[in-house]
């Protein structure tokens, strides 16, 4: 059988509506025979790599009917944010943080953005450094108001205050909503409600002094603290989406999350040692995102840890790569995602070797800006081409500047104003009014 015939057979056998839809949207060839040429060849490696055409595989050429030196070739193996509509049955997951608490440019700490075809979007964890990645995707903040925190370590919650406090300047008009652990016998002051209360108190000066200057309606947080010790409890249910929590073994007051929607299941570990609740409740997940730490040897070499420190860190608080492999072998996800390690040219082969000793299913070793498109029939992984020069998206609601109780700068501070600058300010206002047909007057006191 030729490669082309094999491809045609595979194509006919495929009942994949979603891949057909994608094929249709990216189709550049006109005839039915050529259409078959764009199907996956069908083995797991090919599916992981994406489309390989029969024409390419046979060493031939493809038609340029619909593209040319001036009309762009329409098929790219990357994801450009803001260019692809989600299908009604599709889930898109983007790693906005895949690394460790130790800050590095290449990888932020834990953060996964989940977007569903019903319009819902969820953020699972917001580790330090992750907000820059989220913002680079160009999504209006009013659409990403739901944040789920697995626990309150810096590398899972560190950018939540940044996300909250940056809302007004970035055109968020709605309060943030956060779900996070508490209770379960742990001290009240360790819980998510106390975390948010403390954040508000820490930033009291900033929050108070912005009143009356810009729209500060989004300086509110709806806190949904749930009992972290409950097993497989529903912590969110709306619009066909159910999110459950199971306890994690990570000190205490840490959970893993399971999201189900439209027949798809995503499991996200946060931090945990291998545990029975994960094995029981994440079986056959479509995406199983689980931490995978360095081996003790790599931890010593890369982090400068002592032997006892390294052994403790990777085996008694976290899941070293071999633990990850065993857990995946016991749960058989459609696609496993290993995250929470510095993923570099020298560390990755060690991680793969450790995992593959115990697990031979498909694994993606996460870096920042990987994206998974998931449907019942297909899981496709690509890289995101992010926008490093993102600006806030336009507001989705009319701006309201509350003048009921505005902040006022003390008189003696304003007395320090340089009077020589007043004519310049007045000219700016005059020019603005002339250009816009308005009548604003410069006032030193805002
Ligand atoms: Zn942790
Ligand atoms: Zn962590």
Q: Which two tokens stand for residue 411?
A: 């008189």
Low-confidence ranges of the chain (pLDDT < 70): 1-56, 60-63, 446
- Which of left, alpha, beta for 232 (phi over 0: left; psi -120 to 50: alpha)? left
47: closest CA among 15, 19, 25? 19
The answer to whether 342 touches 104, Cβ cutoff 8 Å, is: yes
The ligand placed nearest to the CA atom of residue 293 is 2
The ligand placed nearest to the CA atom of residue 253 is 1
Q: Which two tokens stand for residue 127?
A: 């580790």
For domain 79-384, the question of CATH label 3.30.70.260 is answered with no
Q: What is the pLDDT of residue 51?
A: 59
Q: Give 134-163 pLDDT, tens digit per residue.
A: 999 999 999 999 999 999 999 999 999 999
How far is ligand 1, taken at its centre, from the CA of residue 333, in Å? 23
The ligand placed nearest to the CA atom of residue 153 is 1
294: closest CA among 279, 304, 280? 304
123: closest CA among 240, 275, 236? 236
How far is ligand 1, taken at its centre, from the CA of residue 165, in Å? 23
Q: What is the pLDDT of residue 244?
A: 98
Query: How far apart are alpha carbons 207 and 83 in whole angstroms?
Result: 35
Q: What is the pLDDT of residue 1?
A: 43
* CATH 3.60.15.10 residue ranges for the chain: 79-384
Q: What is the pLDDT of residue 435?
A: 98
How far is ligand 2, taken at its centre, from the CA of residue 250, in Å? 9
Q: What are the residue ranges of helices labelled H in 282-409?
A: 296-303, 307-312, 321-331, 348-356
How far is ligand 1, taken at its centre, from the CA of residue 184, in Å? 17
Q: Give 364-411 pLDDT, tens digit per residue.
A: 999 999 999 999 999 999 999 999 999 999 999 999 988 888 999 999
How far is ligand 1, taken at its centre, from the CA of residue 83, in Å? 35
Phi, psi of 241 (to 5 degrees): -105, 130
Residue the block writes with tokens 């006109």: 30
How far is ligand 2, taken at its centre, from the CA of residue 251, in Å? 12
pTM over 0.85, yes/no: yes
């Amino acid at each position: 059988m030729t490669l082309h015939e094999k491809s045609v057979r595979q194509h006919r056998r495929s009942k994949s509506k979603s891949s057909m839809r994608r094929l249709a949207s990216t189709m550049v060839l006109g005839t039915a025979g050529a259409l078959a040429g764009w199907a996956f060849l069908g083995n797991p490696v090919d599916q992981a790599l994406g489309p390989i055409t029969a024409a390419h595989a046979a060493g031939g050429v493809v038609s340029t009917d619909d593209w040319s030196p001036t009309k762009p070739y329409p098929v790219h193996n990357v994801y450009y944010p803001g260019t692809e509509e989600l299908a009604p049955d599709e889930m898109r997951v983007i790693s906005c943080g895949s690394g460790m608490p130790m800050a590095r440019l290449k990888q932020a700490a834990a953060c996964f953005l989940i977007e569903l075809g019903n319009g819902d979007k969820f953020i699972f964890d917001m580790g330090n450094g992750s907000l820059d990645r989220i913002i680079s995707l160009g999504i209006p903040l009013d659409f990403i108001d739901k944040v789920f925190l697995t626990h309150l370590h810096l590398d899972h919650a560190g950018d939540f205050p940044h996300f909250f406090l940056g809302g007004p300047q970035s055109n968020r008009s709605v309060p943030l909503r956060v779900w996070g652990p508490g209770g379960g016998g742990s001290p009240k002051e360790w819980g998510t409600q106390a975390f948010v209360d403390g954040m508000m108190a820490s930033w009291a000066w900033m929050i108070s002094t912005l009143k009356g200057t810009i729209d500060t309606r989004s300086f509110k947080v709806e806190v949904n603290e749930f009992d972290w010790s409950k097993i497989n409890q529903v912590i969110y249910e709306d619009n066909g989406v159910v999110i459950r929590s199971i306890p994690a073994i990570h000190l205490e007051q840490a959970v893993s999350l399971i999201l189900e929607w439209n027949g798809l299941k995503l499991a996200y570990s946060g931090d945990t040692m291998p545990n029975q609740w994960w094995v029981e409740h994440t079986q056959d997940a479509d995406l199983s995102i689980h931490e995978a730490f360095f081996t003790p040897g790599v931890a010593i070499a890369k982090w400068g840890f002592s032997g006892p420190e390294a052994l403790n860190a990777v085996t008694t608080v976290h899941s070293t790569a071999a633990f990850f492999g065993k857990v995946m072998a016991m749960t058989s996800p459609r696609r496993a995602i290993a995250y929470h390690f510095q993923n570099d040219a020298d560390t990755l082969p060690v991680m793969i070797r450790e995992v593959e000793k115990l697990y031979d299913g498909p694994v993606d070793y996460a870096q920042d800006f990987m994206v998974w498109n998931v449907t019942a029939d297909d899981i496709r992984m690509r890289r995101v081409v992010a926008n490093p020069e993102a600006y806030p998206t336009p507001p989705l609601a009319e701006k309201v500047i509350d003048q009921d109780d505005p902040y006022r700068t003390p008189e003696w501070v304003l007395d320090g104003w340089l009077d020589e600058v007043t004519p310049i300010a007045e000219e700016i206002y005059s020019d603005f009014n002339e250009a816009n047909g308005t009548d604003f007057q410069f006032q030193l006191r805002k």
